[in-house]
Structure 1
Amino acid sequence: MTPLRTPLCLALFAALPLMAHADDVADKVTDAKKDPTTLDTVSVVGQNATRQVQQLGKLDIQQQTPGTSPLQMLQRMPGVHFVSNEPFGTDEWSSRISLRGFNHTQLGYTLDGIPLGNADYHTGDGLSVTRAWIGESLGELDLSQGSGALGTASTSNLGGTVQLHTDDPSRTPGVRVNATGGSYGFKRGYIRGDIGEHDGFSAYVAGMYVDAPKWKGDDGQRQRQFIGNAIYDWTGGRITGIVDVVRRTEQAYLDLSKDSLRRCGYRFDYLAPDWQRSVDIANGKYSGCVTSADDTYFNGNGIRQDEIGSVKGEFFLSDNLTLNVQPYYHHDLGQGHWYAPKSDLPYTPAPGDAPIALRLSHYLMTRGGIMNSLEYQLGEHHLQAGFWFEDSHYTIARSFQAIPDGGPISQDRIYDTYDNVLFRQRFMTLTRQWYIEDDFSLLDDRLHIDGGFKGHNVTTNAIALLPGRASGALTARSDFLPQIAANYRLGGGWETFASFQVNQNAYEPGANGAWSSDQKTFDGLSKHLRPERSANSELGVRYVDDTVQSSLALYNIDFKNRLLVIVPCAGVVSCPNQIANVGKVNARGAEFTVVWQPTRDVRWFNSATYNDAKYKDNYLDGGVLVPTRGKTVVDSPKKMLASEVSYRFGDVEAKLGAKYTGARYYTYVNDQRIGGFTLFDAGLTWNLGRMGSVQSTKVSLTVSNLLGRKYVATIDSNGFTTSDPNGTFQTLLVGAPRQGFLTVDMTF
């Protein structure tokens, strides 16, 4: 353990008895003067904000089906493209979110200010939102489609940001429990206990389990999670903190191609538990729709074990001056399993071994950091300055575990063996980021302006512990990344807003970054490599009255040094990736939102999105020109529409929602696309109120994919490729069929 992380861990765990919840001051204070107006449960248009923002409050979060991913909760917001191959959006292999043409690895994510990295499945710098916190114990979910706050602790937010805020402990003691059951044997339980407030101290602990069998194939998802949250207030400030411990095993769904989907159908999956057929296919004895050893495999899964915690101090040094200090620490141990046939192995199986091996992807990460900021109120000016430091160590490896003849070996454990190693790399990343910001008002508070800049210096040094992948150091540095935004209230419920921001992406460590190529490719690339950079401009107008909220935002994004990761082989083979700088990308579009609520019992939400994102340059691949200029950015639908109507009659509330997602490409030259689709869902909730010693009881029924639509959800489970003329690239995951769930929720 480094000298930095030793005192950091001691400080963190010594303070665990005072663990408390706190929102990220860097973002909260910025938006304090621009509190979005909340229409019942969700601030759809962000009234008074200087940029395009939305907010889901606690009540709206509680109305979601328990177990729903925070990212899926945002799917109807304008500009949000979200897909998953199961109804809760928690399958980490398939879940994807993008905003305005920026994919999930180009956005920023935080939990109470703690950086969560770039949301990549193989992330070497963070934690999946799915594992970051239990949904029922979230208090707020903030979305910024374009310009995230300067104080956001992220080096990947070329596009927008998603910020999770944990729920405050209750001031009164109590217990909440719920249980959910549903299609295909789904089971989930949740319990939370609050101790109430005692001389400024309050806290809760909560736990969750989920067993979610797959809707096709064998096995499923299993997750066990424990969280703790506490708060201590006194006249001179606040001590806050959180802790999260999670254990997750996720059985994957089979990656399909257009060709295999046509030959084998919607429910084609891994072969488990049929071991003999897997052996036959590995030996070239095909049956059914299978025509090659890579059409399907025996099985595949992922295991993740995480512990993350943070302590934050807010110290009121004077009436006008506040100091914020927040150390954090995160440890992740994980492994991915994939049964590979002998034709995909880098060695010949020994006598007595099966013609199949278990491919192991080893993940180990430890990271610690600290965020500091000062806030000073000087007349009408709210001044902020902050600094974020993180030290991260990440190791990734691929190896193959031999399997004796006679049957498969367990996928429910982490193997600490490195036989038949394909590659092994260690990444050491130092992150330093700083910002300065001023918020002020003019013209009798009708004009609000916030502006400032941030800078960062992020150095990643990769060491190839074994041949097969690249070594070397890359630094992403910029001392001036400006942001300015304004809001002007016209009167009569009308207002305008505008913002401009420049952002830069750090180089991504791990399986999908520049180091995922071989050494020769990396050496040639690194001489001319530049960090990805974006310039986001947006202009909008809002109107709000007693029954209507509406917003129209127009945006333009110029993106330089766009790096493409090209996967040249089947995913299980794990050959080195190809990396290409395709130069510039431009995205422009519009986002429209309107919410009509004529009475307390009726609410109708609608959003429409148009996004035109195109590559502006061609690129060379081995001296061959690849014609990407003018082509649409992969996985970037041009049109999206969403609508949801809810009606409450007495103690019962009914909802009906729909989302249309337009066509998407999964090849850079646009020779293969996936058609658009529309999904409907419905829900019915009955609030039974107090029943004896039970303070409140609620029964909910929800149905996803109401019409049973067959569609392709994820189109990059194995990344993207330059061209796929025969439709054989296996990177597609189909969406889940209609499913229903019943929840009983009680508080004591």
Structure 2
Amino acid sequence: MQGHQPILTQTGEPLTSYNSHLVQQVNALFVQERFRALSNRLTLSAAFRAIMVTRTISNALPGARYRNGASYFSPQPQVSASYDITPHDQVFINGTTGFRAPSGISNYNDRFSVSTGKQNRSATADTKPEYSIGEELGYRHTGPVNIAASVFNYNFTNRQISTTSSLNGVMVTESINGGGQTARGAQLEVGLSPWHHFSPYVSGQYIHATLDNNLRSGTDYVPTKGKKAIRTPTFSGSIGLSYDNGHAFGQFSLNYVGPTYSTFMNDERIPGFTTANLSIGYRLKQVGFARSPQIQLNLINLGQPGYLSGVNSVSFNAKSTKGIYGSTIAGRAPTYFVGGGFAGVVSVSTGF
């Protein structure tokens, strides 16, 4: 039984999804200035960066849009200030901007089915770059106990969401324009300098991220305004403990990631999960010509098998949804990454 024969173009070449050549040029300008005052306790910094990106794509498939591309210009001012209250205590404030061009060459191409020869995707015209403005206010303390705490606010326009989609059986990377997004939250890190060879550590983050507008799907809009952002757990944190007396050593870490939405409509999400890792070992100063030989046991992913560790491909909605203009927008299931199972690894190493 013969297999499927490829569809040939007018030139006799097999039809592919696209046959493209990408040329990208990136130029950047950067200037920075720093000012110190009050016996160097106050530091003011200002910087300006301008990013210029030009992409030109030619698609050689017959019937496809031959030339496409985009040019992006992004001015990115940044300011920061810090004040040393004491030699061990500092407060700081930062104002930043960011830029991100759409990822994936497939966004700029007309794409075709290799089984029917018909066009199944058009080159998107919505290739606007992401731009963000962020503010952060925080406090740092160094000493026997190290502390870093901050609150932050970020505003995004044309939020670029990287995702994967199936194109003729092959997974390709592309960007979805997630519109505007606002994220506010706080984070805390506390670590103890070695005490009787022990060093504990704890960190946590709270973030409230929401969508600022409805997203377009075909000729209608999905009612996503006010929904929580995808791939953004509200709570996450970790606890760690390390020990090292020069010979015996070990480290334990416990990490938590809260529930994470995989659709812009918040109608599907992965549950929160906790992972733990443990490593223990012993090292000698010298044995013959071997310097600092050591043996180490690593126990990876203790007690958390078969969990969903992240979102691979996102979707507007997993269930059928009524659009802003009243049409029914069909759902599409997201896909996920599965976390690795338990593993134990023994390693032996030395220097010479």
Residue 581 of structure 1 deviates from its aligned partner by: 4.0
Q: Taking structure 1 as the reference length, what is the TM-score of the superposition?
A: 0.41
Tell me the residue number matched to 1:488: 83
Counterparts in 2 of 1:724 and 1:572: CA distance versus 1, 3 Å: farther
- Preserved contact between residue 109 and residue 122 of structure 2 (Cα < 8 Å): no
Amino acid at match of 1:744: V
Tell me the residue number matched to 2:2: 352
Give per-residue Cα distances to partners, 1:499-524, cap 9 Å, x unaligned: 1112222343423x45477798547x
Residue 611 of structure 1 deviates from its aligned partner by: 1.4
Counterparts in 2 of 1:577 and 1:678: CA distance versus 1, 3 Å: closer
Distance 2:128 2:332 in 1: 33
Which runs of structure 2 are paired with 1:344-383 in the superposition (5 Å)?
Answer: 351-353=1-3
Secondary structure of residue in 1 paired with 2:239: strand
- Preserved contact between residue 427 and residue 509 of structure 1 (Cα < 8 Å): no
Tell me the residue number matched to 2:348: 744
Counterparts in 2 of 1:515 and 1:589: CA distance versus 1, 3 Å: farther
Which runs of structure 2 are paired with 1:301-700 in the superposition (5 Å)?
Answer: 351-353=1-3, 419-467=14-62, 471-478=67-74, 480-491=75-86, 493-511=88-106, 513-515=107-109, 521-522=122-123, 525=125, 530-545=128-143, 547-564=144-161, 570=166, 573=169, 581-597=177-193, 599=195, 601-649=197-245, 651-700=247-296
Distance 2:193 2:109 in 1: 52
Distance 1:507 1:549 in 2: 38
Residue 620 of structure 1 deviates from its aligned partner by: 2.4
Larger relative CO (CA 8 A, sep 6+): 1 or 2? 1
Tell me the residue number matched to 2:339: 735
Residue 741 of structure 1 deviates from its aligned partner by: 0.5
- Preserved contact between residue 277 and residue 299 of structure 2 (Cα < 8 Å): yes
Which runs of structure 2 are paired with 1:222-233 in the superposition (5 Å)?
Answer: none
Amino acid at match of 1:510: I
Residue 498 of structure 1 deviates from its aligned partner by: 0.8
Distance 2:45 2:103 in 1: 30
Distance 2:181 2:55 in 1: 25
Distance 1:605 1:633 in 2: 29
Q: Taking structure 2 as the reference length, what is the TM-score of the superposition?
A: 0.84
Residue 574 of structure 1 deviates from its aligned partner by: 5.6
Distance 1:514 1:554 in 2: 38
Distance 1:575 1:689 in 2: 50
Counterparts in 2 of 1:464 and 1:555: CA distance versus 1, 3 Å: same
Amino acid at match of 2:156: F
Amino acid at match of 2:81: A
Secondary structure of residue in 1 paired with 2:231: coil
Residue 532 of structure 1 deviates from its aligned partner by: 1.3
Counterparts in 2 of 1:590 and 1:573: CA distance versus 1, 3 Å: same
Which runs of structure 2 are paired with 1:120-269 in the superposition (5 Å)?
Answer: none
Identical pairs, percent: 23
- Preserved contact between residue 666 and residue 672 of structure 1 (Cα < 8 Å): yes
Distance 1:565 1:653 in 2: 40
- Cα RMSD (Å): 2.9
Matched, 1:725 2:319: yes
Residue 699 of structure 1 deviates from its aligned partner by: 1.1
Residue 530 of structure 1 deviates from its aligned partner by: 3.2
Residue 493 of structure 1 deviates from its aligned partner by: 2.2
Residue 695 of structure 1 deviates from its aligned partner by: 1.9
- Preserved contact between residue 510 and residue 516 of structure 1 (Cα < 8 Å): no
Distance 2:161 2:250 in 1: 44
- Higher strand proportion (structure 1 or 2): 2
Distance 1:603 1:724 in 2: 45
Amino acid at match of 1:723: N
Give per-residue Cα distances to partners, 1:16-70, cap 9 Å, x unaligned: xxxxxxxxxxxxxxxxxxxxxxxxxxxxxxxxxxxxxxxxxxxxxxxxxxxxxxx
Residue 576 of structure 1 deviates from its aligned partner by: 9.7
Counterparts in 2 of 1:576 and 1:595: CA distance versus 1, 3 Å: closer
Residue 735 of structure 1 deviates from its aligned partner by: 0.9
Tell me the residue number matched to 1:145: none
Secondary structure of residue in 2 paired with 1:715: strand
Which runs of structure 2 are paired with 1:77-88 in the superposition (5 Å)?
Answer: none
Distance 1:428 1:688 in 2: 55
Moved more, 645-654 or 558-567: 558-567
Distance 1:722 1:711 in 2: 23
Residue 651 of structure 1 deviates from its aligned partner by: 0.9
Residue 710 of structure 1 deviates from its aligned partner by: 2.9
Secondary structure of residue in 2 paired with 1:440: strand
- Preserved contact between residue 437 and residue 452 of structure 1 (Cα < 8 Å): yes
- Higher helix proportion (structure 1 or 2): 1
Amino acid at match of 1:457: M
Distance 1:572 1:649 in 2: 57
Give per-residue Cα distances to partners, 1:468-508, cap 9 Å, x unaligned: 86541200013x31011111001162210111112222343
Which runs of structure 2 are paired with 1:22-171 in the superposition (5 Å)?
Answer: none
Secondary structure of residue in 1 paired with 2:213: coil
Residue 600 of structure 1 deviates from its aligned partner by: 5.4
Tell me the residue number matched to 1:174: none
Residue 619 of structure 1 deviates from its aligned partner by: 2.2
Distance 1:583 1:730 in 2: 19
Residue 419 of structure 1 deviates from its aligned partner by: 4.0
- Preserved contact between residue 72 and residue 129 of structure 2 (Cα < 8 Å): yes
Q: Which runs of 5+ in 2 are unaligned?
A: 8-12, 112-118, 321-330
Q: Which runs of 5+ in 1 are unaligned?
A: 1-350, 358-398, 401-417
